[in-house]
């Protein structure tokens, strides 16, 4: 089938990250023909740059405007149109769909959530005055919702490939042997400097892999440049460049602990099978607190009371000295969660469920 995925980048990289991962899954695992129309090509191309050229060449990445460049006459009629995160289709593109003999299906791909209510809304029709069928599709962790994007499917080993990607060679050479590694990808507003200071006070060595932009965020976190030398010597900061999505996945697999943020890095941290802090995207109406609580209910369902308290505190940015004593238990829990997640997505996860749904 032909798929048109519409991706409007509200901010950051998450919208592009999810659309790209979906496109590659549909192409490489399900043999679909995919076009992505995106309003921010540089961001999308950056993420996509590391992928196997064979997969990359099969996905047609186009500017948003290219979707209606032929004044509504679609050169290729899609079978499925995906509106990622409820973005509105360009009017002239929609007009083109209305005059094609064969009507496609429109999928409104929603945000990932662990909230139980999504099961009632997943797959529901959203009647439109234009008459083209449109359905809600809710990604989620359970079997009765839309699943998660598991591509590239993690292999049996949690350690990932030992080969360091070229773009990370210089940074990786700075890592100290037998030293715990923590990757950091979070939003401004996290009490990171204090958190790292507390970690350093525990006496152990830690290498902190700061993703692109995090060092500046750290320096300016208190409103003015903060001297990073304020951190204890046992904390080594290593800044890495912005890397491709595959390379970022690799970084997560190589660290002992990951701090992640929007929906795509959040899922990849779980698939890395390591403990993580989810710095969830803050929303004005505090809806993120409900989303985080729903995830923790699921994630910690079988955990001991002690681990529940430790992880809940860590996710709320409690200082490591409050919960690091539970890290061994959290490590085992992360591996078990990873295995369970893959079991629940054994049908192929989001891309496969979307294929089934459309069929």
By C-beta, is 184 or 307 nearer to ligand TRH?
Answer: 184
Print the binding letters for residues 14-43 with ligand TRH: x by CB under 6 A, - otherwise: xx-x--------------------------
Q: Rounded distance, CA 311 to CA 293, Å?
A: 12
Q: Rounded distance, CA 297 to CA 292, Å?
A: 9
The values of phi and psi at residue 124, to 5°, are -75, 150
288 binds ligand TRH (CB under 6 A): no
Tokens of 292: 């985080």
By C-beta, is 17 or 146 nearer to ligand TRH?
Answer: 17
User: Which residue of the set 110, 207, 263, 264 is catalytic?
Assistant: 263
Helix (H, G, I), strand (E, B) or coil at 4: strand
Instruction: Show contacts with ligand TRH in window 47-66 (CB under 6 A).
Output: 47
In the list 245, 253, 254, 334, the residue contacting ligand TRH (rule: CB under 6 A) is 245
User: Which residue of the set 4, 15, 110, 207 is catalytic?
Assistant: 15
In the list 11, 54, 88, 285, the residue contacting ligand TRH (rule: CB under 6 A) is 11
Select the span of 4-12, 123-131, 167-175, 335-343 touching ligand TRH (CB under 6 A). Answer: 4-12
SS3 letters for 298-358? HHCCCCCHHHHHHHHHHHCCCCHHHHHHHHHHHHHHHHHHHHHHHHHCCCCHHHHHHHHHH
Instruction: Show contacts with ligand TRH in window 77-106 (CB under 6 A).
Output: none
Instruction: Show contacts with ligand TRH in window 261-280 (CB under 6 A).
Output: 261-265
Residue 21 beta carbon to ligand TRH: minimum distance, rounded to whole angstroms: 7
Residue 130 beta carbon to ligand TRH: minimum distance, rounded to whole angstroms: 27
Residue 270 beta carbon to ligand TRH: minimum distance, rounded to whole angstroms: 12
Q: Is 15 a catalytic residue?
A: yes
Which spans in 142-244 are helix H?
A: 169-172, 192-200, 214-219
Tokens of 108: 């409104």
By C-beta, is 47 or 61 nearer to ligand TRH?
Answer: 47
By C-beta, is 4 or 264 nearer to ligand TRH?
Answer: 264
Classify residue 176 by its DSSP letter. Answer: P
Residue 239 beta carbon to ligand TRH: minimum distance, rounded to whole angstroms: 11
284 binds ligand TRH (CB under 6 A): no
Q: Rounded distance, CA 86 to CA 63, Å?
A: 18
Q: Is 40 a catalytic residue?
A: no
By C-beta, is 4 or 263 nearer to ligand TRH?
Answer: 263
The secondary element (H helix, E strand) that includes residue 260 is strand 257-260
257 bridge partner residues: 182
Select the span of 31-39, 259-267, 299-307, 340-348 touching ligand TRH (CB under 6 A). Answer: 259-267
Q: Rounded distance, CA 56 to CA 36, Å?
A: 12
Select the span of 25-33, 68-76, 149-157, 238-246 touching ligand TRH (CB under 6 A). Answer: 238-246
The answer to whether residues 209 and 181 touch, using CB atoms and an 8 Å cutoff, is: yes
CA atoms within 13 A on the CB side of 103: 11
211 binds ligand TRH (CB under 6 A): yes
Select the span of 13-21, 67-75, 146-154, 231-239 touching ligand TRH (CB under 6 A). Answer: 13-21
The secondary element (H helix, E strand) that includes residue 17 is helix 14-28
140 binds ligand TRH (CB under 6 A): no
By C-beta, is 11 or 54 nearer to ligand TRH?
Answer: 11
- Write the DSSP assignment of 19-50 as a string of letters: HHHHHHHHHHTT--EEEEEES-HHHHHHHHTT
Tokens of 310: 């430790």
What residues line the site for ligand TRH (CB under 6 A)?
A: 10-15, 17, 47, 185, 211-212, 242-245, 248, 261-265, 281
Residues designated catalytic: 15, 263
């Amino acid at each position: 089938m032909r798929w048109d995925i519409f991706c409007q980048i509200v901010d950051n990289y998450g919208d592009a990250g999810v659309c790209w991962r979906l496109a590659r899954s549909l192409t490489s695992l399900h043999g679909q023909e995919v076009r992505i129309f995106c309003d921010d090509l540089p961001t999308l191309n950056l993420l996509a740059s590391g992928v196997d050229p064979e997969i990359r060449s099969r996905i047609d990445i186009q500017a948003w405007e290219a979707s209606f460049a032929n004044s509504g006459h679609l050169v290729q009629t899609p079978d499925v149109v995906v509106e990622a995160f409820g973005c509105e289709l360009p009017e002239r593109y929609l007009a083109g769909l209305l005059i094609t003999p064969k009507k496609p299906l429109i999928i409104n791909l929603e945000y990932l959530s662990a909230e139980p209510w999504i099961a009632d809304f997943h797959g529901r029709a959203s009647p439109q005055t234009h008459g083209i069928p449109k359905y809600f599709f809710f990604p989620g962790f359970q079997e009765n919702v839309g699943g998660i994007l598991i591509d590239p499917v993690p292999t049996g080993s949690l350690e990932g490939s030992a080969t360091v990607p070229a773009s990370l060679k210089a940074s990786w050479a700075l890592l100290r042997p037998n030293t715990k590694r923590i990757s950091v990808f979070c939003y401004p507003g996290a009490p990171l400097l204090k958190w790292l200071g507390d970690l350093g006070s525990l006496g152990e060595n830690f290498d902190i892999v700061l993703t692109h932009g995090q060092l500046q965020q750290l320096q300016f976190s208190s409103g003015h440049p903060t001297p990073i030398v304020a951190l204890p010597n046992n904390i080594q900061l290593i800044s890495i460049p912005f890397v491709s999505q595959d390379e970022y996945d690799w970084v997560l697999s190589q660290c002992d602990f990951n701090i992640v943020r929007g929906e795509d890095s959040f899922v990849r941290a779980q698939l890395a099978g390591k403990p993580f802090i989810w710095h969830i995207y803050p929303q004005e109406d505090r809806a993120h607190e409900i989303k985080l609580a729903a995830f923790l209910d699921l994630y910690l369902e079988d955990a001991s009371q002690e681990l529940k308290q430790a992880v809940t505190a860590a996710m709320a940015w409690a200082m490591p000295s409050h919960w690091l004593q539970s890290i061994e238990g959290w490590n085992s829990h992360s591996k078990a969660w990873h295995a369970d997640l893959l079991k629940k997505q054994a049908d192929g996860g989001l891309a496969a469920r979307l294929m089934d749904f459309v069929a």
